[in-house]
Amino acid sequence: MEVQLKRVTNNPVNVKILQKIIHQTFINTYQKDTAKSELQTYLDREYNVSQIQKQLDDPNCQFYVCIVDRQVASYMKLNLGNKQTEAFPTASVEVEKLYIYPEFKRLGLGTKFLKKAERVAKQAEAKMLWIGVWEENEKAIKFYRKLGFKYLKTHEFRLGSEIQRDLILAKRIQ
């Protein structure tokens, strides 16, 4: 199995690939608990082509994809500096998104992404890496805790007209 982790750059092909995986993995993750119209409204607003291009052009937003045997299997979005969705008194880096297609789960891709996130955080001289996880995503919470993330607080996440609660999990960067 050949696995490659690549930073996504802003060009039309990459934007379409990124938009496809963002939309598909998000819908796959939340479709059981959230109306499809709510999901589509959120994705159309937050992850349309223009928004993705804008984020790719911002040095404080970094997208990565993981390619397994020449197939895009997962993606991660990191936010640095003022692009983070929460402010902390400590220098930090946010893992805003980390999604994996179901058929590629349990291959260690999430761990590879988080190791990359830690390297980015160290380069940015951050003291903390954090992620917001939907409180009902028990598998993800268990995974992050296994990797040393600890509960910090909660925050609200608006998904269309619905308000959901995320747990903020953080890990100290050494």
pLDDT tens string 77-104: 999 999 998 988 889 999 999 999 999 9
How confident is the model at residue 80, as a pLDDT? 97
pLDDT at residue 35 is higher than 90:
no
Q: How far apart are CA 5 and CA 108, in angstroms?
A: 12
Share of the chain above pLDDT 90, in %: 80
The mean predicted confidence, pLDDT, of the chain is: 94
- Which CATH number covers residue 28? 3.40.630.30
Query: Distances in Å between the alpha carbon of 51 and those of 15, 55, 65?
Result: 10, 6, 18
DSSP bridge pairs for 130: 94, 170
Active site residues: 144
Give me the domain span that covers residue 135: 3-172
Mean pLDDT lowest for which of 1-5, 63-67, 105-109, 161-165? 161-165
Q: How far apart are CA 161 and CA 164, in angstroms?
A: 10
> Whole-prediction pTM value?
0.93
Give the chain's domain count. Answer: 1
Q: Give the mean model confidence (pLDDT) for residues 28-47.
A: 88
pLDDT at residue 18 is higher than 90:
yes
